[in-house]
Amino acid sequence: MNSRRDFIQKITAATIAFPFLKQAVAANKSFNKKPYDGPVLRVAIMGLGSYGTRVAEAMRDCTKAKLVGVISGTPSKITAWQTRYNIPEKNCYNYANFDSIKDNPDIDAVYIITPNGLHHDEAIRVAKAGKHVISEKPMALNAKEGQEMVDACKAANVKLLVGYRMHFEPHTLEVIRMRKAGEFGKILFFQGLSGFTIGDPNQWRLNKKLSGGGSLMDIGIYSINGSRYMTGEDPIWVTAEETKNDPVKFKEGVDETIQFQLGFPGGSVASCLSTYSMNNLDRFFLNGTRGFAEMQPATGYGPIMGRTNKGEINQPVVTHQTVQMEEMSAIILQGKQPIVPVDGEEALKDLKIIDAIYEAAKTGKKVKLNL
């Protein structure tokens, strides 16, 4: 298993049964049931790897967003995508010349799906070209880079959104609704488990320059972000401890396993695990004075499954990336406000937490947060 995306795909595929497939088909049909004649977000994807392909395939079912361009350093991929997605030659760019996208009125936004270490420079170039920026998560390698991306997009008067697909997922939103309605009472505790056994030691995810770290930057960010939308608060302190059993595979600056704890202003605490050395870890648990919510799988591509003290969570199974791109189109073109933010400021908070976790793991001290 070579990546988080392989992990997410395999662990969730094992949960799919025929009823879920029927539900997914029905959900996607109902999602696009009404004819749409509003504005369409025209998107170019930068980075034509496995996840870029997943997004492109999901966008086939979008009505508010359309794939119209590509940016890649591999000419053969560009050619293949041109044929597969009917992309005109004038909307195809490489990493050296994509600044000229500023002169292309047929592209509104660029979705950056490249290694973490490239997001910062690519996003700033896209912003300077006058196009809206959608970045995969984590948005950058650290909070300093993230702030520079936010500032660049503001200066260029373009939107900066981040690929937090779970913020639009129906089971997740149902737990958030129940929590907001007070159905769990006062929130006391959150647990987030995010991990898998990573494969190829030469991949970019184990290259600090490209990844910014290890498991925390790749899979652990799900528990970080999940702790915030599940509890409804931003943490005010963090403690952390790193465990490294394979220093050959996980070199200096590339974390293998990190356990971290978060404290929230309302008094609740979170206990989370991020790892590249254990499988079967994709679980969220939220506990309050009046009830609980458990999600497992919690962040996979689907179907997400969950239950509360009131029973199973029965929400539509959707293609996350389809819904994400539909909703992002509405945010960019129609000013829609999502239930959980997906903008650069939201992503910057996660980067500040990541910085603090690494500091806490290094120093052994509790680190205060001011988000």
At 24 the pLDDT is: 46
**Residue 18, pLDDT above cutoff 60:** no
- Mean pLDDT, rounded, for 171-191: 98
The per-residue pLDDT for 22 is: 40
CATH architecture of 4-165: 3-Layer(aba) Sandwich (3.40)
List the catalytic residue out of 51, 64, 111, 137.
137
Residue 86: half-sphere exposure toward Cβ, Cα within 13 Å: 2
Residues 6+ away with beta carbon under 8 Å from 138:
116, 119, 212, 217, 221, 347, 350, 351, 354
The average confidence (pLDDT) of the chain is 93
**Bridge partners (DSSP) listed for residue 343:** 161
Given a cut of 90, is residue 278 above it in pLDDT?
yes
Confidence label for 21 from pLDDT (cuts 50, 70 and 90):
very low
Q: What is the mean pLDDT of residues 120-138?
A: 98
Give the pLDDT score at 6: 59
User: Sorting pLDDT into bands at 50, 70 and 90, what band is 1?
Assistant: very low
Domain coordinates in residue numbering, the chain: 4-165, 166-314+344-368
Indicate whether 27 pLDDT > 50: no
The CA-atom distances, in angstroms, between 326 and each of 59, 168, 247 are 9, 10, 43
pLDDT of amino acid 302: 79
pLDDT at 9: 56
Is 95 among the catalytic positions?
A: no
Q: Quote the pLDDT of residue 213.
A: 98
Is 137 noted as a catalytic residue in this protein? yes
Mean pLDDT value of segment 96-103:
98
> Each residue of 325-358: pLDDT tens digit?
999 999 999 999 999 999 999 999 999 999 999 9
Residues making up the chain, counted from first to last: 371
Percent of the chain residues past pLDDT 70, beyond the cut: 91
What CATH code is assigned to 166-314+344-368?
Answer: 3.30.360.10
Query: Per-residue pLDDT tens for 130-141?
Result: 999 999 999 999
Q: pLDDT at position 35, please?
A: 87
| Euclidean distance between CA atoms 100 and 126, whole angstroms | 10
Residues 6+ apart with CB under 8 A from 335: none
* Mean pLDDT, residues 190-219: 97
265, HSE (Cβ side, Cα atoms, 13 Å): 8
362 has a pLDDT exceeding 60: yes
Kindly state the tokens that stand for 282. 């994709």
What predicted TM-score, i.e. pTM, was given to this entire model? 0.92
With a cut of 60, say whether residue 317 has pLDDT above it: yes
Q: How confident is the model at residue 32 (pLDDT cuts 50, 70, 90)?
A: low
Task: Give yes or no for a contact between 329 and 64, defined as CB atoms under 8 angstroms apart.
Answer: yes
Q: Which of 111, 164, 222, 229 is catalytic?
A: 222
